[in-house]
Amino acid sequence: MDLGITGKSAIICASSKGLGLGCARALAAEGVNIVMNARGADALNAAAEDIRAQFGVTVTTVAGDITTQAGRDAVLAAAGDVDILVNNAGGPPPGMWSDWSRDDFIAALDANMLTPIAMIQALVPGMMAKGWGRVVNITSQSVKSPIAILGLSNSARAGLTGFVAGTSRQVAPEGVTINNLLPGIHATDRAAALDGGVVKEQGITMEQARAQRAATIPARRYGTAAEFGATCAFLCSQHAGFIVGQNILADGGAVNATL
């Protein structure tokens, strides 16, 4: 299927690895010129070089922390006018509800709620003026089914989800769609870090921790960044213009719900 977005331009935040990289690669494969971002320059530049070589699109890299004003300003300055925004950042650490301080909550809100909102506020007016735009926020299955040890993530992402629910309806008349893509367990560094915690806690091997978690997913495996990226690219396509304000799970059936 031709997604109809060749020649468009996109920012993919937090995209040197994992799900963000999956989205960057899938958009580049469709001929979208991209701006990639991450804090670490080495992995970012290596990922960008690989994409340039494979897909022949223009790839601009901006190393910096997207959860800071300076990081966002640098990305926005490098990108200029864009058609597609993929919001992403690292997830908050796991922990116990009784231990988190106000500062812990502020950090999580900054990273996973206020940063994507700031990027939307910066870029959606330009999309509306052109009459076309796509925003995809990478959130989490925890929005639909809470993961108790990720309470900081549950809280911040619920806030973003509420913002998107209303705002997406306000901008849709101008041809701009905003949707959230909710990953379940995917084979990335983030998943490995969480599995590492289980290894320590339960005294089992990494393979056992992975097998244990995979067994809880109806698909009986972890998702891949490539299939997540392909779903993101479809949401950014011409064909997805009637999908507005939705929360789309990519979780192998892990969330056990009818709707």
Stretch that binds ligand NAP, among 52-60, 64-72, 99-107, 203-211 (CB under 6 A): 64-72
DSSP 29-69: HTT-EEEEEES-HHHHHHHHHHHHHHH---EEEEES-TTSH
Q: Which stretch binds ligand NAP (CB under 6 A): 62-70, 95-103, 170-178, 236-244?
A: 62-70
| Residue 90 touches ligand NAP, criterion: CB under 6 A | yes
Interface with ligand NAP (CB under 6 A), residue from 11, 113, 138, 235: 138
Question: 162: which 2 tokens?
Answer: 């509420």
In angstroms, the CA 198 to CA 111 distance is: 24
Cβ neighbours around 123 below 10 Å, total: 22
Sheet holding 9-12, edge to edge: 59-63, 33-38, 9-12, 84-87, 133-138, 176-183, 247-250
For ligand NAP, the closer of residues 88 and 161 by Cβ is: 88
Residue 66 CA to residue 77 CA, distance in Å, equals: 13
Residues 13-52 that bind ligand NAP (CB under 6 A): 14-20, 37-40, 43
Confirm or reject binding of residue 253 to ligand NAP (CB under 6 A): no
Closer residue to ligand NAP (CB): 62 or 240: 62
For the chain, the straight-line distance linking the first and the last C-alpha, in angstroms and rounded, comes to: 28
Q: Which is nearer to ligand NAP, 69 or 238 (CB)?
A: 69
| 10: helix, strand or coil | strand
Of 108, 143, 191, 249, the residue at the interface with ligand NAP (CB under 6 A) is 191
Out of 116, 133, 151, 183, the residue judged to bind ligand NAP by CB under 6 A: 183
Number of amino acids touching ligand NAP (CB under 6 A): 28
**Which residue of 34, 89, 136, 156 would you call a contact of ligand NAP, by CB under 6 A?**
89
CA 147 → CA 4, 5, 151, 164, distances in Å?
37, 35, 7, 21
Instruction: Tell me if 88 contacts ligand NAP by CB under 6 A.
Output: yes
CB 11 within 8 A of CB 85: yes
- Residues forming the site for ligand NAP (CB under 6 A): 14-20, 37-40, 43, 65-67, 88-91, 138, 140, 183, 185-186, 188-191
